[in-house]
Structure 1
């Protein structure tokens, strides 16, 4: 059997045999993968089912929800709540913890997810994705509160994302490397297509939302300016800038060919702590990046060591190739405390 013929469930069963994945985690990750398949299908057929465009509501962060935000959130809830291994779920699209209904068995795991990252891209047919993070509690709780699930990222037992692009891919880490699976519509399964992804330490690409330049702290301005200066500037080589407005797509490119992603705390978002959400965006992506040899920081500290103080906490996020992240971090630290939160 060749490596590329291994399906996700075969992969998980092998990891379980090796002691890297518990039985219940295998069950949960299979449910997550099934959710991603369903979301992928809705994205392909949404124009025919009148589920594109705005839903006319806002999520807890005050962001306008797309119809598919709501659909994708419901898909994850419905397909994972019955797994029998979950204590609760936390979603970007819900204000409160989602407790598992009483008619389903409960477990020790907590699933945190962004059901449709980059949904502003849907109507123009640009890549979007789903992000997920998994925590394991010491025991099945009698009641579930935010105190139960507010854990630092180092306690994640699995993290990953699905990218819905020309092909649908699932990228996964269970704490020992990062592997990539591609959806094979012929058999209806994700199949392993790349193992042990590694991010190059150096890069010639950076991703940042340049429209926020007027808000950036000086160290971020200087870093970007040095990159833009190219081979005649202090970096001595040319850089390309990328920005897709979908974190999944940005991180996917970095995992495959290197780069650095920057969404720092700036003058416009400092009051809310940054842009990206710690629990279901920054933490899972940081786990993937670190397991692929990269670094992830909030501009001061390692993201995975941050202790969350709320379910929808936002943080600055700088992640990717280690040498570039160190460069940005050193600039920020040299300018502290004025530019740090």
Structure 2
């Protein structure tokens, strides 16, 4: 049986389809993959290496920072800075972006990332992940990168992806030509193609949300969720599945279908998830996998962030499931939409 393609071979194969490519993007992806391997190793032995617990400070959102949050953030910043192909970096853990000089030539990409999604789950050994997005530089190359390189709508992403650190480490990414997943083989030190050309099932059997917040949601969202979990007689009932790590919940939905939602509520009227680091890259991936995405009123891909840490409501899932959910939320008969 032939060995599956490695992640770097997959990227190189795609690069050969573009004769004008310089290899800069491939080097950037290689740096991200290296960071993910390092983070994965640390996550897997966190309990033995004194990486559990809090770092003793709060991030820009006022959230307590876990030690592994700091480690993951520092690892991504270091590897992306060293590769020399990023002009700017923005992280959920940083109050301001990092603007990088070209070395020796101008860099053409800006990278945004959530270094360790679900970090509140670390101490109880629940899966966590890393999310990233890559934009093409917009600022003049003869000066340092600016806000315009980072504050772009997700539809302009050159690539997006995530790593899931669970029973195995999985790396999923898209460059706008489908979505592909790779599983890490520690004996080889390589990510091997395990999920080629992922397609989200149009209709699934699960709902993924934090049901404890249901009383805080608007009436339409409450009605839609209740109708899925407690449907009229004769209609299929959805199962509730919720990990509390976006990467884990989105990964299951990407492969199995169903819907994931984190709506706005009375405490967070703008939503809770970050547009730049979480919602945007995930929306890009779901669209590329023939799924659907929404902020409840329109496409997440069209939302241009005003600041680095804008938040948004999020709905992800199969095309039919998302369409039906939005119809139920608005009080429309889903069979007539």
TM-score interval, normalised by the smaller of the two chains: over 0.9
Q: Superposition RMSD on alpha carbons, in Å?
A: 1.8
The Cα of 1:276 is off from its aligned counterpart by: 0.4
Alpha-carbon distance, 1:149 to partner = 1.7
Q: TM-score, normalised by structure 2?
A: 0.93
SS across alignment from 2:46: helix
Structure-1 residue corresponding to 2:306: 309
CA distance in 2, matches of 1:298, 1:320: 12
Matched, 1:26 2:34: no
CA contact (8 A) 2:100 2:145 kept: no
Whole-Å Cα distance in 2 between the matches of residues 51 and 313 of structure 1?
Answer: 29
Aligned-pair CA distance for 1:220:
1.0
Change (3 A) 1:172 1:306: same
Looking at structure 1, the residues matched to 176 and 262 of structure 2 have their Cα atoms a distance apart, in angstroms, of 25
Q: What stretches of structure 1 of length at least 5 have no aligned partner?
A: 336-341
Q: CA deviation at 1:179?
A: 0.3
Counterpart position of 1:339: none
Q: Partners in 2 of 1:103 and 1:9 — Cα distance?
A: 23
Query: With structure 1 as the length reference, what TM-score do the two structures score?
Result: 0.92
The alpha-carbon deviation at position 143 of structure 1 amounts to: 2.2
SS at match of 1:46: coil
- The offset of 1:311, in angstroms, is 0.7
User: What's 1:326 paired with?
Assistant: 323
Contact kept, 8 Å, 2:88 with 2:149, in 1: the verdict is no
Q: Is the aligned partner of 1:7 residue 2:6? A: yes
- In 1, Cα distance between equivalents of 2:203 and 2:31: 36
Deviation at 1:119, TM superposition (A): 0.5
Decide whether the 8 Å contact of 2:202 with 2:257 is kept in 1.
yes
Aligned positions of 1:143-222 closer than 5 A: 143-222=144-223
SS of the equivalent of 2:65 reads strand
Cα deviation, residue 147, structure 1: 3.1
Residue by residue over 1:138-194, the C-alpha shift from the partner in whole angstroms, topping out at 9 and shown as x without a partner, is 453512232332100111000000000111010010101000001011110111111
Cα deviation digits, residues 78-128 of structure 1 (max 9, x gap):
111011211010000000011226777540101100000001110000100
CA 1:141–1:164 in 2, change beyond 3 Å: closer, same or farther? farther
CA distances 1:45-71 after superposition (whole Å, capped 9, x unpaired)? 222221110111111111111010001
Q: After superposition, where does 1:56-67 map in structure 2 within 5 Å?
A: 56-67=56-67
Partners in 2 of 1:224 and 1:241 — Cα distance? Answer: 10
Query: Contact (CA 8 Å) 1:81, 1:101: kept in 2 or not?
Result: no
Shift of 1:252: 0.5
| SS of corresponding position for 1:300 | coil
Query: How big is the shift at 1:258?
Result: 0.6
SS in 2 for 1:325: helix
Deviations 1:216-264 (A, max 9, x none): 111111111111214626xx00210011010000110011111101111
1:283 aligns with 2:277: no
CA distance in 1, matches of 2:55, 2:243: 22
- Verify the 8 A CA contact 2:85 2:102 in the aligned structure 1: no
Alignment match, 1:293: 290
| Residue ranges of structure 2 left out of the alignment (5+ in a row) | 333-337
Separation in structure 2 between the aligned mates of residue 50 and residue 232 of structure 1, nearest angstrom? 52
- The 1:141/1:8 distance shift into structure 2, 3 A limit, reads farther
User: In the aligned structure 1, how far is the partner of 2:19 from the partner of 2:97?
Assistant: 28
Q: Kindly tell me the number of residue pairs found equivalent between the two proteins.
A: 330
